[in-house]
Amino acid sequence: MDLTNASALVTGGAGGFGSATARRLAQRGMKVVIADVADERGEALAKELGAGSVYVRTDIMDEESIARAVQAAVDLAPLRAAVVVHGGPPPPGATGAARTVNREGKRIPLAHFAHTVGVYLNSAFAVTSQAAEAMAKNAPLASNQRGVVINTASIAGYEGQPGQAAYSAAKGGIIGMTLTIARDLAPIGVRAMAIAPGTFLTLAYSARMTDEEAQAKWGPMVPNPHRMGDPDEYAQLAAQICENDFLNGTTIRLDGAQRF
């Protein structure tokens, strides 16, 4: 798919995966809407990218907020790519990962489980459906292509660890819905893909420790290359998915052969 004279929406666009992806897509000639709540980082990135890219403050738990971000992209140019890489707020009162029933015999509240699924799965579907609806109005390119949506799963969607029941359920949902959505959107010429990253050096780690500390702790878990992933490696794959029309309906593991 030709990415020039088109726009892209990146939710979580001011984060590690998102900012790297925004840069890659801008390099290919796209005008990028950086959708996030990190105002300072988002505005700085939009200024860095230039060429029509903008930052739009977006609450991914609010459909009207998502609609405004989608419309901002459409106003720039035909929306051809949506990359969903956002995180979201933890459950109210949560202090970290929680086992279904902990060692003291106390269960995780259902509200915590539902909140996590809402952040990582429900909101991803909301972005996907709204972006695809906008793409359906595009003039078709070669092979009748109108756009592509890329969601972000996780290797936890295949092999979750203790305390990840809600997160694994959400990311497993991303994996599970990708083929079905691709089939749903096939008649309008919109593709659906997902990327399942392993352990990457994103802001989630660098906010808690130095890059060197994170690499020393988490890098040895990756068989080859023996390090954490670089967000730009995610971005490279996302850009290739956008350009390659025959990539559709599947989830690609991006994890250096990491298995838990």
Sheet holding 251-254, edge to edge: 54-57, 31-36, 7-11, 79-84, 147-152, 190-197, 251-254
Q: Which of 55, 120, 158, 167 is catalytic?
A: 167
Burial, 162: exposed, middle or buried (Cβ in 10 Å; 0-12, 13-18, 19+)?
exposed
Dihedral angle computed from the Cα positions of residues 212, 168, 59 and 129, in that order, rounded to the nearest 10 degrees:
130
For residue 235, what are its two tokens?
A: 């971005």
Phi then psi for 133, rounded to 5 degrees? -60, -40
Buried b (16+ CB within 10 A) or exposed e, 96-135: eebeeeeeeeeebeeebbebbbbbbbebbebbbbbbbebb
167 is catalytic: yes
Residue 150 Cα distances to 29, 214, 218, angstroms? 18, 27, 26
Sign of the dihedral through C-alpha 184, 135, 86, 244: positive
120 with 164: CB under 8 angstroms? no
Per DSSP, what are the bridge partners of residue 34? 10, 55
Residue 59 Cα distances to 12, 36, 87, 195, 258, angstroms? 10, 7, 11, 22, 32
Write out the catalytic residue numbers: 167
